[in-house]
Amino acid sequence: MASPLRTSARRTALRRAGIALVGTVGILLASAPASAEPGAPTSSADAARMVAERGHALEIVTEEFNQARDTLAAQQAAAVAAGAQLEKATAELAAAQQSVRSVARTAYTGESMGSFQAMMMSESADEFVSRVTTLQTIAGHQTGLVERAAAANVAAAQAQATATKAATDAQATFDAVAAQQADLQKQIDEFKAQFNQLSAEERRAAVAESSHTDEAAGEERADGARASRDDRSAPAPSAPVVANSQAAQVAVNAALAQRGKPYVWAAGGPNAFDCSGLTQYAFRAAGISLPHSSRGQSGMGQAVSRDQLQPGDLVFFYRPVSHVGIYIGNGQMVHAPTSGDVVKIGSVDSMRGFSGARRIAG
């Protein structure tokens, strides 16, 4: 029975789809040449604010892309599983059909014995009863074979439909994600060009400003002094961070070990990270699988109130969720803040828009 998933071409296409997405998203293209844009800023602080807002908007798009990419990976896995189930169902159907053909061949050639023959060939009543019982057992077995063949035929048809739908869904999602990836890369290039137009001081201000971009980001702000003050990167804890479970401890330690590595959109390590890529990487070290999506991670584990935070808890920001970090105690978290910055420790209060926390381990 033909199936798109049973062909090597389909499986190769699915593998290449996943590889292409993982391989290309984490690599930023070379910076585009600077160019003037409409609505140019009128001051250094205004330039920093505009770039910061653009950076946060891009983080939202990136997290949506990450979620779509995770959906694609799940659909590809489902497609492979459906293909394996189809192969199994097809093999069972072939075996059942062969058994039924054997039964039919025996009946056609007259090799089977009927009740009358059994009576004529039996030398006693007991022998006759024994022969008839055997015949009934054989008949029941043959009926069972026919019924199993019919059930196998239904199962194979259902497996075929499931495999076809899984392949179709995965292909549709791949097409959508590929288009989203192309749009994301275009926006990344535009942002890099815009960022490169800033002076060194303006870049620092933009990075600091991005930690405060939320639904109220359009409000007026004071000039560079305020922006500089907002760069609240915290020093390393004076004492070791102690979590309440081994898994949480491993995740915290893994995240802290990434400090200084650059933020790169849609990157999941080991050399660069975005926010959800860092948390996914850290908990993977503890044997816990998280989606590469801050919004997806916000539905994992148990909800925790802010006053009950413990080291290892995930802390989320904005509505809808588009940023995540790992709490390490004393009001601090380790996170990958934004483009132009690195993985570092910062205050939970340094970011507006706290929207909740989840306990993944412990």
Catalytic residue IDs = 275, 323, 335
What's the rounded Cα separation, in Å, for the pair 147 and 16?
A: 41
Q: How far is CA 4 from the centre of its chain?
A: 24
Contact 166, 5 (CB under 8 A): yes
What's the rounded Cα separation, in Å, for the pair 215 and 212?
A: 10
10 Å Cβ neighbour count for 48?
A: 28
Percent of the chain that is helix, strand, coil (3-state, to 5):
60, 10, 30
What's the rounded Cα separation, in Å, for the pair 335 and 279?
A: 8
Structure token digits, residue 167: 């392949």
Exposure letters 269-296 (e unless 16+ CB within 10 A, then b) = beebbbbbbbbbbbbbbbebebbbbbbb
Structure token digits, residue 57: 């908007």
